Amino acid sequence: MGLTSQYLANMPIIELDSIDSTNNYAMRLIDADTAQHGLCITANYQTAGKGQRGKQWDNAACESLLMSIIVVPSWIIDQQFLLSATVAVAVADVLTTLHPTWNVAIKWPNDIFINDKKTAGILIENVLRGNKWQFAVIGIGLNVLQTEFSSSLPHASSLLIQSGKKYSLHELRESLLSKIIAALEPATSPLQIIASYNDYLYRKECNQRFVNEDKEWSAIINEVTLDGKLHVTEHGGTSAYYVHGNQLWCLG
């Protein structure tokens, strides 16, 4: 059964001024058995925001949308990438509606790029108990009002830089929260989810640089599979499937 607009409008939200990490706060709620599906935690500032591969998500107070959403997944443990893909597509869909000329893309597995610049990151942490996928915490960091970034982040950007417009953090939060919760309804088939993801796939059918602990190389990106593997064509025409992790990532 689909979610009503009244339900979406009344989803619980915890608003914090400062916190170590909204994901950490959400995990503490789960540990205390006070979590519920759709509960959203937001903060004006994070002292230890989480990024991919254990990196810290840099933020300035009141310039980023920092939010974590607690959800009860409708998929089984082996389908974790479907949650990641659903959320990434929902975020990309919302951003696409904001500006007609933006080229919004999902960089595998779930960074959001606008006009070839990283503008949002998604970090999902799962709570598994036995063979049950009990909760997932969807952490989102969206650069909104920043005008400058560290020289160590040459590919970073914000909605303000890309549009010249100051978007409302509150309105963006409401749009993203409603879109994500609605997208998690089990009506959409896995094949549709992955098809939508691949429509947004960054540098699809293009040559992309990759790196691991030992080397750097290039391959042509083809698509992402149902289980989250990146299908590429390597030098010489060899087909390969990459698994994302600490030992492999795409370079900007």
Instruction: Tell me the per-residue pLDDT of 182-199, one tens digit each, with 9 for 90 and over.
Output: 999 877 899 999 999 999
Say if residue 10's pLDDT is above 80.
no
Which pLDDT tens digit goes with each residue over 189-230?
A: 999 999 999 999 999 999 999 988 888 999 999 999 999 999
The arithmetic mean of pLDDT across residues 82-111, rounded, is: 96
Would you mind telling me the total number of residues written for the chain in this entry?
252
Would you say 65 and 169 are in contact if contact means Cβ atoms under 8 Å apart?
Answer: yes
d(CA 154, CA 29): 36
Mean pLDDT (the chain, rounded): 90
Task: Tally the C-alpha atoms within 13 A of residue 55's C-alpha that lie toward its C-beta.
Answer: 14
Amino acid (1-letter code) at residue 195: A
Say if residue 1's pLDDT is above 50.
no
The arithmetic mean of pLDDT across residues 46-70, rounded, is: 76
d(CA 64, CA 109): 21
d(CA 248, CA 231): 14
Q: pLDDT: is 67 or 188 the higher one?
A: 67
Sheet containing 216-224: give its strands across. 239-242, 230-233, 216-224, 207-212, 248-250
Would you say 108 and 201 are in contact if contact means Cβ atoms under 8 Å apart?
Answer: yes
Would you say 59 and 45 are in contact if contact means Cβ atoms under 8 Å apart?
Answer: yes
Helix (H) or strand (E) holding 8: helix 5-9
Tell me, what's the pLDDT at 131? 87
DSSP β-bridge partners for residue 45:
18
Say if residue 152's pLDDT is above 50.
yes
* Paired tokens of 153: 């982040």
SS3 call for 75:
coil
Tell me, what's the pLDDT at 245? 75
Backbone angles phi, psi at 65, to 5 degrees: -90, 115
Name the CA dihedral angle for 111, 29, 70, 27, rounded to a multiple of 10 degrees: 30
d(CA 10, CA 3): 11
Residue in 188, 232, 213, 215 with CA at minimum distance from that of residue 86? 188
Say if residue 117's pLDDT is above 80.
yes
Helix, strand and coil in the chain, % to nearest 5: 30, 35, 35
